[in-house]
Amino acid sequence: MHNLTRITFNPEVMGGKPCIRGMRVTVGTIVGLIASGKTIDEVLSDYPYLEREDVLQALAYAAWRAEEREVPMVS
């Protein structure tokens, strides 16, 4: 996913979990809020420093990761 420029990884921020633009807001937090029934507008109201594209990219990243699969290495 090359176009997810708002998703960042830094081992010193939230233990390296994927975050929004280096802030201490994880993709998991955003996805969890949406999954619990919050609308994008409600998330933006709760986190006024986020932008709509931040939420959309968090959802896109989560969807992409959900499609990944692990393939065991055969020795």
Of 24, 2, 64, 60, nearest to 10 by C-alpha is 24
Range of the domain at 22: 7-62
Whether residue 70 lies inside any domain: the answer is no
Residue whose token pair is 């393939």? 71
* H-run or E-run covering 7: strand 7-8
Percent of the chain residues past pLDDT 90, beyond the cut: 80
User: Is 21 within a domain?
Assistant: yes
What φ, ψ does residue 11 adopt, rounded to 5°?
-60, -20
Task: Examine residue 67 and state whether it is found in any structural domain, yes or no.
Answer: no
Tell me the per-residue pLDDT of 52-71, one tens digit each, with 9 for 90 and over: 999 999 999 999 998 877 66
CA distances from 33 to 10, 30, 55, 67 (A): 22, 5, 10, 20
Tell me if 69 is assigned to some domain: no
Question: pTM, whole model, 2 decimals?
Answer: 0.84
**For the chain, what is the domain count?**
1
Asked if residue 43 is part of any domain, the answer here is: yes
